[in-house]
Amino acid sequence: MQTPSLQVLLVTSDAALRAAAADSAPTTDSLIHVRGDDPAVAAVGGHYAQVWIDLDTAPREIAATGVRRVYFHSSGTVELRGVAPGLFVRKPCTAAVWRMLWSGSASRGAVRYAAASAGTEGGVPDWLLTFQELELSALCHKCVTRLPAQLGFEHASLYLHDPHRRLLTLAETNDTRPVELAVPLDGAGTLMTAVARAGEPLVTLDVEQVRQRRGIERRDAPTRPYRDKSCLIAPLLADGQLRGVLNLSGRSAPAEDIDLRGLERVLAFVARALWHAQVYEQARTDARVDGLTGLYNYRWLHETLAREIGRAERFGEPLSLLVADLDGLKDINDRHGHVAGDAALREAAQRMQAAARGSDSLARVGGDEFVMILPHADEQGAAGVAARVCELIRREPVPYRGESIRLSISVGVATWRTGEDSSALLERADRQMYEAKRAAAADGGAAPVAGRRSRFEPSEPIINLDALRRRKR
């Protein structure tokens, strides 16, 4: 067998995809690019570590070969006819996805299963290739809507394993009977806990007989039995760890049609896909959450604010923004230490969340700066939320090692104007916040809300937003 090079061949006419792939490449010579609209692209040959094809702008098949194939697409569904086995990734890709693609850690196992022909021993059926899905919610939905019929059952419930709490939590179900929302692995014995602990699937046409034989007391009420006493309960194991448990019920095909060897391959494939999706989900969450306060961060703010502006523009709905700065954080750090400052920030975050409406979302975007997005809020509604923020922040001091730390905050309010982008809206709210801070100093330390009448003069230096954004990234 020819030894592959260490290079990746990318076939695309999408300039943004090409730039993102090049920016994330480990070395400058790791990526070879061929335009997808080149008339001779299908004849491009060679052997590479990976071949990446953009299904939106390139042919579905080219002559070049690789140890692994990755297909980029922007649609919700992918037509698999004429496509060799590989990993399907939806555009645009986050930095976490690019890291996983370049390292190969996110796709190595899935591709090993997919690479085998469906007609040969050890392979998987073509329909299973659609389960190479990095979006966790989408993958869970596929598991309960597509797997049952393929495996000869009617209903499915998928549980995800939380190793820290030793708990199985329901991710999705298509069952009409009541099912458990959570199953403790250390609690009373159930069939699911027994399967999870043993690491072996259970397939039976008489679940009551299995319970009696194993001495498992039935916990579910008489209104929640398996309809025909048949079920398949399978642990989803990947990388030596339990990722979830799949519970299928309502046998729709004859029992003799169950292919146990094929079933093991299907479950292993789904388990590995679930593992990859969980890694991706965690990486995406970590990239958008502030570690100190648990709030969203600057990256999330700009992604979400752009979407909210698009929604406001499309439906003609109001949208407002609060920019808040916790006053005197440096003094708290100097007098009580940075641990006290961290405690003050966490308390401020909790109080601001308490002041928010159900549809509002809050992010910490700097050392002492917070931003709240207020969908469906006009200027008056935003001013009301801002007033509640100031009230809750100032209501009670924060106890710290026998002392009381008083908090105050300056808040700027801005309501979106037609044609305004996220940067302009943020800058207006930021200016209003600094106006409020100046007014507080002039009034002897009160914590006002600015936003209705601006006394800000553009020539006054308030903040270098470009430098601030670079620092926060």
Pair 121, 145 in one domain:
no
* pLDDT tier for residue 471 given thresholds of 50, 70 and 90: very low
Query: Tokens 């809206």 appear where?
Result: 425
Please report whether residue 404 resides in a domain.
yes
Domain extent at residue 84: 1-134
* Domain's final residue, options 225, 249, 281: 281
Pair 145, 24 in one domain:
no
Pair 259, 370 in one domain:
no
Q: List strand residue ranges (DSSP E) for 357-472, in order.
A: 361-364, 369-375, 398-400, 403-405, 409-415, 449-450
Average pLDDT (300-306) is: 90
pLDDT tens per residue, range 429-467: 999 999 988 887 776 654 455 443 332 222 222 333 333
pLDDT at 44: 63
pLDDT at 114: 33
Pair 79, 175 in one domain:
no
pLDDT at 362 over 90: yes
pLDDT at 119: 36
Reduce the secondary structure of 311-372 to three states and give it as a string: HHHHHCCCEEEEEEEECCHHHHHHHHCHHHHHHHHHHHHHHHHHHCCCCCEEEECCCCEEEE
Q: How far apart are CA 312 and CA 382, in angstroms?
A: 15
Please report whether residue 125 resides in a domain.
yes
pLDDT tens per residue, range 8-30: 888 899 999 999 998 888 876 67
Q: Which of 53-57, 147-151, 202-206 has the lowest mean pLDDT?
A: 202-206
Please report whether residue 308 resides in a domain.
yes
Please report whether residue 176 resides in a domain.
yes
Average pLDDT (383-393) is: 94
Pair 368, 462 in one domain:
yes
DSSP, collapsed to helix, strand or coil, labels residue 29 as coil
Q: Are strands 47-54 and 65-73 parallel, antiparallel or unpaired?
A: parallel
pLDDT at 433: 93
* Domain's final residue, options 100, 134, 168: 134
Pair 380, 365 in one domain:
yes
Pair 5, 104 in one domain:
yes
Q: Classify residue 76 by its DSSP letter.
A: S
* pLDDT tier for residue 84 given thresholds of 50, 70 and 90: confident
pLDDT at 319 over 50: yes
Average pLDDT (200-210) is: 84
Q: How far apart are CA 159 and CA 236, in angstroms?
A: 10
Average pLDDT (62-86) is: 70
Q: How far apart are CA 210 and CA 231, in angstroms?
A: 11
DSSP, collapsed to helix, strand or coil, labels residue 378 as coil
Please report whether residue 416 resides in a domain.
yes
pLDDT at 299 over 90: no
Pair 262, 311 in one domain:
no
CATH number for the domain harbouring residue 229? 3.30.450.40
pLDDT tens per residue, range 87-118: 778 888 888 778 777 865 333 333 333 333 33
Domain total for the chain? 3
pLDDT at 422 over 70: yes
- Asked if residues 406 and 396 have their Cβ atoms less than 8 Å apart, the reply is no
* pLDDT tier for residue 144 given thresholds of 50, 70 and 90: very high
pLDDT at 9: 86
Phi/psi of residue 433, nearest 5 degrees? -65, -45
CA distances for 258 relative to 202, 232, 444, angstroms = 12, 10, 78
* Higher per-residue pLDDT: 436 or 217: 436
pLDDT at 349: 95
Pair 374, 250 in one domain:
no
Please report whether residue 288 resides in a domain.
no
Please report whether residue 122 resides in a domain.
yes
Q: What pTM was estimated for this model as a whole?
A: 0.50
Query: Tokens 């692209």 appear where?
Result: 41
CATH number for the domain harbouring residue 86? 3.40.50
Pair 5, 19 in one domain:
yes
Pair 125, 149 in one domain:
no
* Higher per-residue pLDDT: 160 or 87: 160
* pLDDT tier for residue 352 given thresholds of 50, 70 and 90: very high
CA R_g for the chain:
28
Q: How far apart are CA 301 and CA 289, in angstroms?
A: 10
Please provide the average confidence, as pLDDT, over all residues in the chain.
79
* Domain's final residue, options 134, 158, 177: 134
* pLDDT tier for residue 221 given thresholds of 50, 70 and 90: very low
Please report whether residue 123 resides in a domain.
yes
Pair 162, 100 in one domain:
no
CATH number for the domain harbouring residue 319? 3.30.70.270
